[in-house]
């Protein structure tokens, strides 16, 4: 890592003017744009990129001004970005992220909060906050985010979007700043199922085998955490899934491990240890200015990194969860669960409340976090006029089949 001065901003090098950004979704300053590399299946589509993706010749900021200041420009462009450009899509800018993508709040202390067009006065969720805001607000057709512990799924639910956390390792993650490599994935957002599927076809490629879904697993432990109004809103769409897949089969896979809080605890410890490996050396060397949320989280992560016995237990738990969920799903089942416990929090919610809400969220996201299975969030309904998502988890490697089912279900269910 070098203490090199920041080069010209991307837009200055490309001769681009500062773009209109009514939602505070894009990184401040002149806009980094890239034309398509060739005509293709995504010709005419515009996408944005979370500021943890590398673009050759430009600095990746990771949501922190000191990180941007102390790093030079990337040498290569992330594979996922190149795939979209090669398919005819145009990149219209880099968008906000929570610091180092290590938050679900969507409120960056250095750059502010992106606006949630579909839930005014509420957060977008994070850490892919700018990606979700830009798509929900119609500033682009799709946007790349990342999902480690819920950073695509939660903004998708809060902003009323389609979002996918793919099978871990399915999409190359080179050129994407790491947070916790055992969990990091490339994900994306779209407002409509057709665009969502089209982008997925380019990013994912073909499934290695065929999947035919004819069983519906019902994640009882996750639904039990909802209040009555949220549960009733989502139940309508669970019943519509039963019309497609047959009567639900309630399952409680976390029960043997003490429940979802135990799963969440295991994930959070593993994520923290890897986050310290990713950024701890730079933090100790550079003494950057961090927001209070990240400062507290990194202080804890440093402690966790030394908990050898605890981390070994967490890794054993992750292996067990992976085996258990693979067995439950087989090649023919989908698991339905809420994407989030409720609608987006209000902007300005105090830190203690946000921390408790984060724990509630991560209990539900821990199914896919620990298993590495693909999970799609669908914008099925609203509560108090704010979006509320429902999720489906598919078998390992079934990402394309899961997208096709999601598109078909969206058409038939009318959302």
Respond yes or no: is residue 127 known to be catalytic: yes
What is the C-alpha separation between 197 and 142, in angstroms, rounded? 11
User: Does residue 338 contact residue 364 with C-beta atoms inside 8 Å?
Assistant: yes
What is the C-alpha separation between 127 and 152, in angstroms, rounded? 8
Catalytic position from the list 80, 117, 142, 151: 151
Work out the angle between the directed axes of helices 399-413 and 228-245 (0-180°, nearest 10): 110
Rg (CA), the chain: 20
Number of H helices, E strands in the chain: 13, 12
Respond yes or no: is residue 366 known to be catalytic: no
Nearest to 47 by CA among 8, 19, 88: 88
Catalytic position from the list 50, 233, 278, 391: 50
- Helix, strand, coil percentages in the chain from 3-state DSSP, rounded to 5: 40, 15, 40
Pairing of strands 112-113, 107-108: antiparallel
Q: Which residue has the tokens 């512990």?
A: 149
What is the C-alpha separation between 392 and 232, in angstroms, rounded? 17
Q: Show the DSSP H helices in 330-389 as ranges.
A: 351-371
Residues with Cβ within 8 Å of residue 106, at least 6 apart in sequence: 98, 113, 114, 123, 124, 125, 126, 127, 129, 132, 155, 158
Respond yes or no: is residue 151 known to be catalytic: yes
Catalytic position from the list 80, 117, 127, 398: 127
Active site residues: 50, 127, 151
């Amino acid at each position: 890592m070098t203490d090199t001065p920041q080069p010209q901003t991307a837009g200055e090098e490309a001769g681009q003017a500062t773009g209109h950004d009514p939602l505070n979704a894009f990184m401040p300053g002149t806009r980094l744009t890239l034309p398509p590399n060739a005509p293709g299946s995504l010709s005419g589509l515009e996408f944005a990129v979370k500021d943890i993706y590398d673009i050759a010749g430009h600095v990746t900021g990771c949501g922190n001004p000191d990180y941007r200041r102390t790093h030079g420009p990337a040498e290569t462009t992330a594979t996922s970005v190149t795939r979209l450009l090669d398919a005819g899509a145009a990149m219209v800018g880099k968008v906000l992220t929570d610091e180092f993508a290590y938050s679900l709040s969507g409120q960056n202390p250095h750059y502010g909060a992106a606006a949630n067009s579909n839930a005014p006065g509420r957060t977008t969720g994070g850490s892919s906050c700018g990606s979700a805001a830009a798509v929900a607000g119609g500033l682009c057709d799709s946007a790349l985010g990342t999902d480690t512990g819920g950073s695509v799924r939660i903004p998708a639910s809060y902003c009323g979007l389609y979002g996918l956390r793919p099978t871990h390792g399915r999409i190359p993650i080179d050129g994407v700043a790491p947070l916790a490599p055992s969990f990091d994935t490339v994900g994306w957002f779209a407002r409509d199922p057709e665009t969502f599927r089209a982008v997925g076809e380019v990013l994912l490629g073909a499934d290695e085998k065929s999947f035919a879904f004819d069983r519906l697993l019902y994640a009882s432990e996750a639904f039990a955490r909802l209040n009555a109004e949220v549960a009733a809103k989502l139940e309508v769409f669970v019943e519509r899934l039963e019309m497609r897949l047959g009567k639900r089969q309630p399952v409680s896979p976390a029960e043997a491990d003490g429940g979802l809080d135990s799963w969440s605890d295991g994930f959070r410890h593993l994520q923290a240890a890897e986050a310290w490996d990713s950024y701890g050396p730079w933090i100790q060397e550079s003494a950057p200015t961090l927001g209070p949320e990240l400062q507290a989280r990194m202080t804890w992560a440093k402690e966790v990194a030394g908990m050898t016995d605890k981390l070994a237990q967490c890794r054993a738990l992750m292996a067990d969860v992976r085996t258990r969920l693979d067995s439950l799903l087989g090649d023919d089942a989908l698991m339905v669960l809420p994407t989030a416990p409720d609608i987006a929090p209000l902007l300005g919610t105090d830190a203690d409340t946000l921390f408790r809400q984060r724990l509630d969220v991560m209990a539900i996201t821990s199914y896919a976090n620990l298993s590495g299975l693909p999970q799609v969030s669908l914008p099925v309904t609203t509560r108090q006029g704010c979006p509320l998502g429902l999720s489906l988890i598919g078998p390992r490697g079934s990402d394309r089949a899961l997208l096709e089912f999601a598109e078909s279900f969206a058409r038939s269910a009318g959302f």
